Chain A
Amino acid sequence: MNNSVLIIGGGIAGIQAAIDSANMGFQVCLVEKSPSIGGRMAQLDKTFPTNDCAMCILAPKMIEAGQHANIKLLTYSEVLSVEGEVGKFKAKIKKKARSVDEEKCTGCGICIEKCPWKADSEFDAGMGKRKAIYVPFPQAIPNVPVIDREHCAYFLKGKCRACERFCEAGAINYDQEDEIIEVEAKAIILATGFDLYDPTPLREYGYGRIQNVITAMEYERLSSASGPTAGELKRPSDGKIVSDIAFIQCVGSRDVRSNRYCSSVCCMYGTKEAILAYEHRPGTKSTIFYIDLRAVGKRFQEYIQRAEDEYNITYIRGRPGNIELNRRNQNPTIWYEDTTTGETKSLEVELAILCQALIPPRDIQKTASILSIELDEYGFVKTPDGLSHPVDTTRAGILACGCVHSPKDIPDSVVQASAAAARAAEILSGGT
């Protein structure tokens, strides 16, 4: 398979870079390790500062990438090795076995309906369930399910085979094996996105111990119309619909114990989540605990102002020291210092959300070693001449964009993705 640009990572940045490169007339191979492209943006309910729905603006791009004549999608696939140099890279890609024949599957969904086995849904941040044969979310591209062999009764015990029985197209293939595909490319774009800081080590916040202390991503899934509670803000302990919430910023960032850097987007997404809570249930009160309120983009300051004026959101400057559990009603109580008044206080709320930092993907070291690129001290991709060549990595011909480069919001990710495509185009035109 001869492709000109290999793009690793099928989130919004990877998709944008793929579409731009394909529209420029180049052949693109887009590799994504999960069963569908879409990435983190698909997990979000709404996006700041417009509060438009994430899936509505993502889905057309996903469809475009899926249908483009110049884009070859390799989902449920991973890059094993990359050899060569700029202008002549050779990559080996493992296409994991879906156990479903992509050519025959029509996406009708009967197999999923009939499957009796369940597992935790990764897409729902563990807050909901999916079947053993599944698509990660309804708008998945490709709309071809995958059998999770670790939870499928057939692969574990040789039983069931319901999906095979009900599939009219005869697309189920239990004997399907992983495939190794070789891809040639002149340039490589890395767009593998981010993972989220797990706040368990911050024991003072009680994540994992206090049920009603959740992470921001768990909150996104709760508030999503397509999520495990169909968008109702039901808190974990008793399903109560909450109306008094606290958001704690800088969890896992600006912190000597974990990550010193600033995660850039959390001030804005915390505000967004508080606004959404009010929209779900008018009158909801939200308190946001912050250090510096970083709202630097277009219309961001107005967003914050509206949050204060119209959405019953209070900002308190102070990093909480402790969250305690009120055992009588399962409410978390936040202990904090309001640094603008010098007072130490406590605030009891019904639900506390930890606005966790964006961290490099957990397998970034492996990716870096496969691509022979360097990482910076935080684990994001190093751009040695960041001032003049913002998307070039330490290896010629390999570009990085989006959050794997450094934490950023959607517009900035999309810009970098197009920039990476432009740099790749320079390389493909015979330049460097």
Chain B
Amino acid sequence: MRNETQVKKSGFEPKILAFCCNWCSYAGADLAGTSRIQYAPNVRVIRVMCSGRIDPTFILRAFQVGVDGVLILGCHPGDCHYIDGNYKTARRIHMLKKMLSQLGIEDDRLRLDWVSAAEGKRFASIINDMTERIRALGPFVR
């Protein structure tokens, strides 16, 4: 659990963008809230209906405007509300990561993970983990 004093000491505060799908990960994030599970305040969530909606250009634009890390959270494989949107996401992000590495962007800055609507704790721990990883990498330099 973090508090104001710890935060003031650390300096660089990563800005993380998370795309969450309505049916699973967004619901999981809500559950972290109803369960009052505390996590790092560095993430900003954009809600989409399915992780399959994420066009790689959204991610590139995020880095372009100075976001330090991008997180895509979808339903677990097999559970996608739209049957198989998350499989397509997995393929796209896999390819995008290859491209990003060629541009010299660290692998940890883009993360794809799966959070179900019952995994409030998991959502929080992914946010915390991502925040720390990005903090260690430092700000995204264009």
Do chains A and B make direct contact within the complex (CB under 8 angstroms)? Answer: yes
In the bound complex, how far is the Cα of B118 from the Cα of A55, in angstroms? Answer: 6
In the complex, whether A59 has a CB less than 8 A from a CB of chain B is yes
**Residue from the set A56, A224, A225 with the largest chain B CB neighbour count within 10 Å:** A56
Q: From the candidates B23, B24, B35, B79, name the one contacting A226 in the complex (CB within 8 A).
A: B35
Known: A138-B31, A226-B31. 8 other contacts (CB 8 A): A50-B78, A52-B116, A53-B119, A54-B118, A56-B27, A60-B23, A225-B121, A226-B118
A residues neighboring B (CB under 8 Å): 45, 50, 52-56, 59-60, 138-139, 224-226, 230-231
Q: From the candidates A50, A54, A60, A225, name the one contacting B119 in the complex (CB within 8 A).
A: A225
- Are B78 and A52 within 8 A (Cβ)? yes
- Are B79 and A59 within 8 A (Cβ)? no
In the complex, whether B67 has a CB less than 8 A from a CB of chain A is no
25 contacts between A and B (CB under 8 A): A45-B118, A50-B78, A52-B76, A52-B78, A52-B79, A53-B79, A53-B117, A53-B118, A53-B119, A54-B118, A55-B118, A56-B23, A56-B24, A56-B118, A59-B27, A138-B34, A138-B35, A139-B34, A224-B118, A225-B120, A225-B121, A226-B31, A226-B35, A226-B120, A231-B121
Q: From the candidates B34, B35, B116, B121, name the one contacting A53 in the complex (CB within 8 A).
A: B116
- Are B117 and A56 within 8 A (Cβ)? yes
In the bound complex, how far is the Cα of B130 from the Cα of A167, in angstroms? Answer: 37
* Residues of chain A within 8 A of B120, CB atoms compared: 225-226
* Residues of chain B within 8 A of A225, CB atoms compared: 118-122
- Are A230 and B121 within 8 A (Cβ)? yes
* Residues of chain B within 8 A of A139, CB atoms compared: 31, 34
Closest Cβ–Cβ distance, residue A426 to chain B (whole Å): 32
Residues 20-48 of B at the A interface (beta carbon under 8 Å) = 23-24, 27, 31, 34-35
Closest Cβ–Cβ distance, residue B83 to chain A (whole Å): 12
In the bound complex, how far is the Cα of B35 from the Cα of A231, in angstroms? Answer: 14
In the bound complex, how far is the Cα of B118 from the Cα of A52, in angstroms? Answer: 10
In the bound complex, how far is the Cα of B80 from the Cα of A56, in angstroms? Answer: 11
- Are B118 and A50 within 8 A (Cβ)? no
In the bound complex, how far is the Cα of B30 from the Cα of A139, in angstroms? Answer: 10
